[in-house]
Structure 1
Amino acid sequence: MISSTRAEIITIGDEILFGQIIDTNTQWIGTQLTDIGIRPTRKTSVGDNKQDILSAFTEASQRASVIIVTGGLGPTRDDITKHTFCEYFHTELEINQDALALVTSFFAKRGRVMTELNIQQAALPKNCTYIPNLWGTAPGMWFEKDNVVYVSLPGVPYEMKNLMEHEILPRLKARFSTTIIQHKSIRTIGIGESFLAEKIADWETALPEHIKLAYLPHFGQVRLRLTGTGTDQGILDRDLQAQVSAVTPLIEEFIFGYDLDELETVVGSLLKENNATLGTAESCTGGYVASRITSVSGSSQYFEGSVVSYSNAVKTNVLGVKKETLLEFGAVSEQTAREMAEGARKVLNTTFAIATTGIAGPDGGTPDKPVGTVWIACATPNETFTQLLSLRNDRKINIELTSSYALNLLRKTILKGNLIVQG
């Protein structure tokens, strides 16, 4: 087994723990470290408390060779990272003249007057290596102790990313002899995680030691992520692709893409390849399917529009759903979904149309049609396909799931070859 340099990421700030801001730094840093062959193994979020930060440093140093710290470098009293590093490394702050010159220039260029707090931004622990921040006033800091590298960066994403890209990543690559860490993802939909695991159990058991598998479920989809570690990029790419080729026949009916593919991009590509157009008729999803479709650049080449038929009046007056259908079967029914899709295809003059109608919740359910009951339909030049979904009691999740299943129904319909010249 090839060992990788291990890294931990520590984010500092009460605002993260209180949920007042979302920590996007860790995700980005983890990606960048992986790209240079350093394996992130743990993330820790700590409030503005010196003892908690000291404990986080000590614990991380026992597990990792690289510790990336973000946050707590501002000029106010609650920003205590520099003082904590001084205690951890048994040193004290002093004004770094290079840092002071950069901070002074920063304010001069903007015509602003420096305060004493701003000057203190240039006060750094004596034993750190100063990392100039050309994008803000809080310098980066680099420490080394017992073969562990500690990097302290501002929490502001723009500043942190620039420091990482231009200063920290090149230094880490020079400092450590790293391995190659490569990911390959298989994107599936329409099968649960446990059922998927059963289907590929023998294949998973036979994976070579340098390739690991992770199951990443999200809104009706499961991403199978293969992570390979090696020293030769070409060999690693070949090994990963061999495993993808080996597992594909076992689950081919559930695979919609690979790596960064999303359902909306896959569907868009299929529509362009077939010179086909699309429209939507949405009730319970309220336009969310159309939103996902139009989030793809170039979607105007194949997407004509959407009818958000939330009321029965719009279903009948715009889409042509029969009043008798609504009276006999109700708005949430296979018959209504079918007529919505067929009506949208006619009104919007498209090759395909997909429709959604259901009870998103949390209210509105009945014993016969509980919350989460959804019908979707896909109308083609030849016929119309429908599918019943039995989802959850969460409105947001139901809308997300319905949109995914509707897009997937369209994808499967196109792949079946349901295309003729419109007429």
Structure 2
Amino acid sequence: MNLTATIVTIGDEILIGQIVNTNATYLSKELDSLGFKINEVVSVADTQEAIRNVLSRVNGTADLILLTGGLGPTKDDVTKKVFCDFFNDELVQNPEVLMHVTMLLENYYKRPISEVNKLQALVPSKAIVLKNRVGTAPGMLMKSGNTFFVCMPGVPYEMETIFQEELVPFVKENLVKEYNIHRTIMTYGVGESLLAEFLQEWEDGLPNDVSLAYLPSPGSVRLRLSVHGTDYDLLEKKIQDLVDLLPNEVLKYVVSFQDEGIDKNIAKQLLNLQKSISFAESFTGGVLTQLFASVPGASAYFNGGVVTYATQSKIDVLGIDETLICKEGVVSEAVAIEMARNAKRLFKSDFAVATTGNAGPTKGDLNVPLGTVFIGIATPEVVFAKEFNLGQPREKVVQEAVSKGLLMVYEEMLKNK
């Protein structure tokens, strides 16, 4: 039987969309890896009433209730008081926390501790204190019946530190260890419905305790196999045996047996081949470049990228012949080919990807339909481009063009193995 958990994130900034709720995403993934089934994720306002109501509602509904946010020293941070009142406890000064806050302020921030900062050392008298090595607000753990309640700060790096260094050891020691095993198979270049058709017989033969999910996104579909139990090695073997039975019609579209995008597989191929890549982008606005530039160690295979959005920049930066643009149009096979060829030359790379198109939402002065894009590929042997009509809206066009460009260059790399 699954251990269960509920995540409560506190803060008006989440409710009004001012920030993305990354804490909920992080905790969901980490709890899943520890064997928990997530009952719900809920966000509430920075008010005593909202926090009190959610504590009362979720009490007893899960093995573990995690709260983040509202533990600062200012008047709008009310979580700790409500948490303490919920357990009919009182706040007391914790000497270890006070010493830590004092040292942190004096050694790192170079200022003496204030009366406001001292409030951080107040914790419920019956709580287990979870040390916050990188901040001033400690985590707190208390129990109601069979439910453990944990309060942590909302600052992501502080919450993550407390979770990993303090809470994970506690969970492993005090709660029954169970496992959620997932295996994600990344496919590219095949639609969800056709994939389901190829997998029908295989899917019909799945054991009752194994579930399959289709997770489509532009240009790709992730297949996620999941199983839960107490014997880790047995669960892993069960999943692997099923993966080994995947039909050949599906395997030809598989780029990875891990939950990672095709860009990571391209990076691996480039490292294996000891080759490099570069990009020349127009309507994709640097999305391809950012995918590769954001990875530590990318300098081993990523030479550079350029966003030549305006027609004149394609002429001035990439050296595209103005006569060619006038004859063929800026959104054309010929221009995409020259963009890829010249990016490869400019950055002295082995492979290059180029994008030019009319992503919308208005046609402007372009002479091609909305959604028309050309993707150019340059390899050590050939340079070519393909035309696609990706429809609308603009975001969809950009996402699908990026996926198609990555798939095209990945397929060319496989020919160079």
Report the TM-score range of the alignment, normalised by the length of the smaller protein.
0.7 to 0.9
Aligned CA distance change for structure 1 residues 273 and 17 (closer, same or farther; 3 Å): same
The correspondence for 1:93, drawn from 81, 91, 110, is 91
Whether the 8 Å contact between 2:320 and 2:338 is mirrored in structure 1 is: yes
Which residue is equivalent to 2:18? 20
1:160 corresponds in structure 2 to: 159
**Comparing 88-97 and 99-108, the one that deviates more:** 99-108
Question: Counterpart in 1 of 2:279?
Answer: 280
Q: Structure 1 pair 56/393, CA: closer, same or farther in 2 (3 Å)?
A: same
Tell me the CA shift for residue 144 of structure 1: 0.8
Say yes or no: does 1:48 pair with 2:34: no
Judged with a 3 Å threshold, the aligned counterparts in structure 2 of structure 1 residues 297 and 174 are, in CA distance, closer, same or farther, namely closer
Aligned equivalents of 1:160 and 1:300: distance in 2?
Answer: 32
1:377-412 per-residue CA deviation (whole Å, 9 max, x = no partner) reads 223454444332222434444333322211110111
Q: Are 2:59 and 2:144, in contact at CA under 8 Å, matched by a contact in 1?
A: no
Taking the aligned partners of 1:315 and 1:137, their CA distance within structure 2 comes to 52
Report if aligned partners of 1:382, 1:418 keep a CA contact under 8 Å in 2. no
* Equivalent in the alignment of 1:249: 248
Q: Percent identity?
A: 37
1:248/1:276 CA distance change after superposition, 3 Å: farther
Unaligned runs of 5+ in 2: none
Whether 1:59 aligns to 2:64 is no
In structure 2, the partner of 1:389 is 388
Q: 2:363 aligns to what? A: 364
Paired residues for 1:398-413 under 5 Å: 398-413=397-412
8 A Cα contact 1:330 1:336, kept in partner: yes
Q: Secondary structure at the match of 1:6?
A: strand
Q: Do the aligned partners of 2:333 and 2:387 also contact (CA within 8 Å) in 1? A: yes
Instruction: Measure how far apart 1:45 and its partner are.
Output: 0.8
* Map of 1:354 onto structure 2: 353
Pairwise mapping of residues 304-323 of structure 1 onto structure 2 (< 5 A)?
A: 304-306=303-305, 308-313=307-312, 315=314
**CA 1:135–1:226 in 2, change beyond 3 Å: closer, same or farther?**
same
Q: Deviations over 1:240-259 (max 9, x none)?
A: 12222223523223322232
C-alpha distance in 2 between matches for 1:118 and 1:320: 59
Segment drifting more, 188-197 vs 162-171: 188-197
Larger CA deviation: 231-240 vs 268-277? 268-277
**Residue in structure 2 matched with residue 174 of structure 1 by the alignment:** 173
**SS of match in other structure, 2:370:** coil
Q: Check if 1:118 corresponds to 2:117.
A: yes
**Separation (CA, whole Å) in 2 of partners of 1:105 and 1:277:** 48
| Partner AA of 1:28 in structure 2 | Y
* Cα 1:112/1:199, change in 2 over 3 Å: same
- Unaligned 5+ segments in structure 1 are none
